[in-house]
Every structure is written in structure tokens, then in C-alpha cells.
Amino acid sequence: MQYIAFIYKEDDNFVAVVPDLNYTSSFGSNFEEAYQNIKEAAKLYAEDLKKLPKPRDLETLLKEKESFIPDNAIPQILEINVQKLKRVNVMFKTDILEIMQERVNEYNGNRSAYIQDLIEKDLENHKISIHH
């Protein structure tokens, strides 16, 4: 999802705030550092949410802008990609599980990542999109 952050200079730092993510904020010594830091902070905040809030458009945010965000704040779009994981119980035949574990070791990952990768490749081969 795309959210809007406002970045502005305050004293010797640049401050960044994302109103739609409960005013998540961060800072940096320059504009680019503040932008990178707010992307990381926003993603970490969003990962803890059960459901992401609907982002407001720039016009709405400007009308409703809190007084602590200065008029010269520069809006920046943040692309926040949060993948929610869900644990499931899956059963396999014993011989398949043994062979799968060998493949996982060669894959240098874990079983969940291995199975997820196989499913994503199968969906791609069948031109089924999972991205919204």
C-alpha cells in the first residue's frame, strides 16, 4: 500500500511523519536518510497491525494536517509491503517428507520457505496473480 509521509527540517535534522500509520515518525541527518528511516519505521509499525489502515490522499491529508507538521513539509510516497504469515498444519507422506528435507537442505532455507517458493512458481506458471 502507498502511504504519504511528510518530511521537514527541524533544527539540524530532518523529521518524517506518516499520519495514516498513527503518526509513525523517524528522523535523519539529511532528507534521504529521513526518507529511508521512515520507510523502515512504517514497515515495522505496519507489521504489528492486524489490518492496514486505508491511506488517505494528499488533498485530504493537507486539509487535515496536524499543526505540528509545518507548511513547508514535503510529502513523499512510501510503498509499504507487509506480508502477513499464517501458520498452518500440513501432513505429508513420510517418504515425501524425508526427500523434501534433503531438498530443503540443498535449498538452504526452511521448509516453509521452500514450499512457499514451489507454490509461487506453480502459480506463476499458470499465470495466477497473488498480488493485489
Q: Which residue has the cell 517428507?
A: 97
Measured at the alpha carbon of residue 108, what is the angle toward residues 132 and 110, in degrees to the nearest 5? 60
75 in the same domain as 126: no
124 in the same domain as 107: yes
65 in the same domain as 14: yes
- Greatest mean pLDDT among 3-12, 61-70, 99-108, 114-123: 3-12
pTM: 0.64
73 in the same domain as 12: yes
d(CA 95, CA 33): 51
Domain of residue 15, CATH code: 3.30.160.250
112 in the same domain as 74: no
User: Tens of pLDDT along 52-67?
Assistant: 899 999 999 998 888 8
The phi and psi torsions of 23 (rounded to 5 degrees) equal 60, 40
Mean pLDDT within 15-43: 96
Give the total number of structural domains in the chain: 2
90 in the same domain as 104: yes
Q: Are 2 and 78 within 8 A, CB to CB?
A: yes
Read off the pLDDT band of 132 (50, 70, 90).
very low
Q: Which residue has the cell 511523519?
A: 17
Measured torsion, CA atoms of residues 83, 84, 89, 94, in degrees rounded to the nearest 10:
20
Dihedral sign, CA of 93, 94, 97, 102? negative
119 in the same domain as 69: no
Range of the structural domain that residue 40 is part of: 2-79
98 in the same domain as 67: no
